[in-house]
Chain A
Amino acid sequence: MLILSMSMLLLCMFIYSCTTDPEITNWYNEDEYAAGGATTLYEATSGAFSTPAPNLSATAFEKHMAGDVSFESIFVTAPATNNAGLGPIFNDVSCVSCHTLDGRGDKPSVFRVSIPGTDAHGGPNPAPGFGGQLQDKAVFGVLPEGKVDINYVEEFYKYPDGSSYSLLRPVYAISDTYISLPPGTMLSVRAAPPVFGLGLLEAITEADILAAADEFDLNGDGISGKVNYVWDVVSATAKIGRFGWKANQPHLDQQTAGAFSGDMGITSTLFPTESAYGQIQDDGMGDDPEIDFEFLDITSFYTKTLAVPAPRGLEKPNVMLGKQLFFEIGCENCHRQKWTTGIATGIPELSNQTIYPYTDMLLHDMGPGLADNRPDYLASGSEWKTRPLWGIGLTAVANGHTRFLHDARARNLEEAILWHGGEAEKATTAFKNLSAGERAALIAFLEAL
């Protein structure tokens, strides 16, 4: 009887809540289904990350589909009739080979290296003979620069409530280098992040990002969101960094050109010099740039105009509870829920959209556990850019795995949370102190995104 009467009471509250009660409706917002505004895709299939935004004009759609072909193009050794220019040293042969179905890689695929100091623009100081990235593959007859050995040490812990968990701590070592590695070489290991929704993030105004920053924690909340300023090769000036695990790329054209160059050894109009230039294994073919401006442009456009998948089941009680906890324990302080985009030049489909990416676009100290100890422009060795969380619950269906964080060390969302240290330490501690049911609810919320 007690249960019944409580149910009746709750029934009344709930029906009421759908209309007016701000106390309850706070945790369910129908608008949030449109996570990517008018670019939102309402489907939870393997195509969740790889579908064109539904609001593209016919012209934009055509360009997007041309970019789709470029994104899937597999490069081969020059000279060749089609897709020539691979390498001579590379990490993989196409964009999709790491960004599976435009999503997340399940293992490290890119290995950044540098030595102490900075380059002429304040960026990482390239390691002589290796550049800014260690390419672990090469065309036939050329030696890979080296390889990265990964060993995971499983560490066992207990929650305050006594239940146990374990984390895989990666230990990295570079071996089989084609020449000796310079002393003091720093290594940062990266997995491929999803590439959808990026045009929307690019369309967030600089003023809005700057307004969100609080580098010196003047508001005293223990969180010091910081803007990275990085070199823009197009304007030849320093710009706000937005993309990459350390926000070290100012815009998607440069991000894309950088990936062609560093990951595949494909030269472009933005980066016309081979990644192996000046090294003894440079092919010296003089066929650069290996892709023209249009090829680069449509590939970049493709990543700008992919749909953002809608959340699922936000009105479910445990998802609402999880969302409430997400806000209450402080996750949202960095994984900022909501933005409105400004004007996306040439892409009106992305302009003035209310979006729910769950990132503040800023750098945060994530503590020693996650630190790569390799500075990147203004990002210190323990600072990382807050990752967007939209679509994260679809990783299993789209990519067939649930490995997370910059080097894919976390085996599921729970482990990803538990790795958060530094400025997130307080929130992580609060998460550990939740009941098992509450922790499950918070994860259910993330899985609903």
Chain B
Amino acid sequence: MVTTQKILLSSLILSITLLPLSSCKEDDPTDIETYDFQPILNHLAQHVITETYVDLHAKSISLVSAVTTLQTSPTAINLEAARQAWRDTRKPWEQSEGFLFGPVSTKGIDPSIDSWPVNVVDLEAVLGSGAVLSKEYIDGLEGTLKGFHTIEFLLWGEDGEKTVDLFTAREFEYLIATCQSLESNTNDLQNSWNVTGENFQSEIAEAGEDGSMYVSQKSAMQEIINGMIGIADEVANGKIYDPLSQLDVTLEESRFSANSKADFIDNIRSIQNLYAGLYMISGDGVTTFIVSENSELNALVEAQMQNAIDLIDAIPGTFTEAIFENPDAVTAAQESVRQLQETLQSQVKPLIDAI
């Protein structure tokens, strides 16, 4: 019987001198990599992902300001300004849905920002109660009583036709408090990625190094690609397909604001941003690797991303109307996103898995 001490000693020597020979299994997931993904990972983490969250937070500050102005001066113009501020904030959020990993998931931030459906029964009950509608009060509520869709419901109303004279004083108070709560959640999110904060970006940028959460650069790249595939799947087979196939508008996510088409396009842009390595500052992206492996595939992905955006944009009218009046256009858009998902899943990902 070999003693433990001897094994330990031999282990140390083995690890120093014989590591390359020590693998008996060729498809071991921790095989030594043959491509240096660090520049891609670094740029995506530092610029694309973190900057999207920084942008989201900046826009949410403007949203608080817009709803505060609306309360002070409830005019049709200020209502439209508040709605535009909501759309402006929604945009970077939807562009972040290609990377729903890390703190947004593990810290439970997503439900506070983007829960759906809205708990209308409880919302009406809270508005009808004497509860003090402070940010702290809203912070303590479930996600279905705050975040984007609650704000959307308050700004547009159930049928999307709410006018400024229909707002109650309590609704203004609720709007301001829930926008402040959103601002604080988006701040938490950008802080969790920022180098000046909890610096989660280093987990991606330094993947494979000692003490890193990701055992290899390849794992971090798989994380990125999975995020892209995941949102393509969600848009094609959930967000578009469910309301379309069941002809049920209540399954449409941004229905009150008629913002669904913009949501879908920004989701595809999220994929595009990771692929191209572009969010304000251009740099390495997934394309850097794919071009080096298969330039035809690279062209196909670029064309399919643009095609999906174009076909969603080409859906006439609102998404709500289109599922009834132009189902063919909606189906074509859905199909284009599904094709993109298929290419990412069956052609792009295997190139990374093979490293």
On A, residues with C-beta under 8 Å from B are: 3, 6-7, 10-11, 14-15, 18, 23-24, 28, 30, 33, 42-47, 65, 69, 74, 76-83, 86, 93-94, 97, 100-101, 137, 139-141, 310, 312-313, 315-318, 320-321, 324-325, 328, 396-397, 399-401, 434-435, 437-438, 441
Contact = CB atoms under 8 A, between A and B. Distances in A.
B326 to A, nearest CB: 24
A322 B350 CA distance: 33
Nearest to A79: B121
Nearest to B250: A81
Given A77-B122, A81-B117, A321 B29 contact: no
A328 B7 CA distance: 13
Contacts of A310: 29
Given A74-B143, A313-B28, A316-B15, A46 B105 contact: yes
A3 B213 contact: no
B21 A80 contact: no
B219 interface: yes
B342 interface: no
B283 interface: no
B4, B108, B125 — most chain A CB neighbours (10 Å): B4
Contact of A33 (B25, B115, B119): B25
Contacts of B28: 33, 313, 315
14 contacts: A7-B13, A15-B21, A46-B102, A76-B121, A77-B121, A82-B250, A93-B111, A100-B106, A140-B129, A312-B29, A313-B28, A317-B11, A317-B15, A320-B7
Given A7-B18, A93-B144, A101-B106, 7 more contacts: A10-B10, A43-B29, A43-B219, A74-B117, A97-B108, A140-B121, A313-B28
Contact of A400 (B105, B215, B222): B105
A23, A78, A400 — most chain B CB neighbours (10 Å): A400
A98 to B, nearest CB: 10
Contact of B24 (A30, A97, A101): A30
B144 A23 contact: no
A400 B120 contact: no
A441 B9 CA distance: 12
B8 A441 contact: yes
Contacts of A93: 111, 142-144
A74 B112 CA distance: 12
A316 B125 CA distance: 59
Given A10-B18, A46-B101, A100-B108, A139 B117 contact: no
B226 interface: yes
B350 to A, nearest CB: 12
Given A14-B21, A100-B108, A313-B28, A397 B4 contact: no
Nearest to B122: A140
A76 B21 contact: no
A286 B178 CA distance: 33
B2 interface: yes
A164 B115 CA distance: 44
A74 B115 CA distance: 8
A316 B7 CA distance: 12
B4 A438 contact: yes
A294 to B, nearest CB: 15
Sorted nearest first, the 4 A-B pairs with minimum C-beta distance are A400-B106, A317-B11, A76-B119, A77-B121
Interface string B116-157: 111111100110010000000000001110000000000000
Contacts of A313: 28, 30, 215
Nearest to A447: B215
A438 B6 CA distance: 11
Contact of A321 (B4, B118, B219): B4
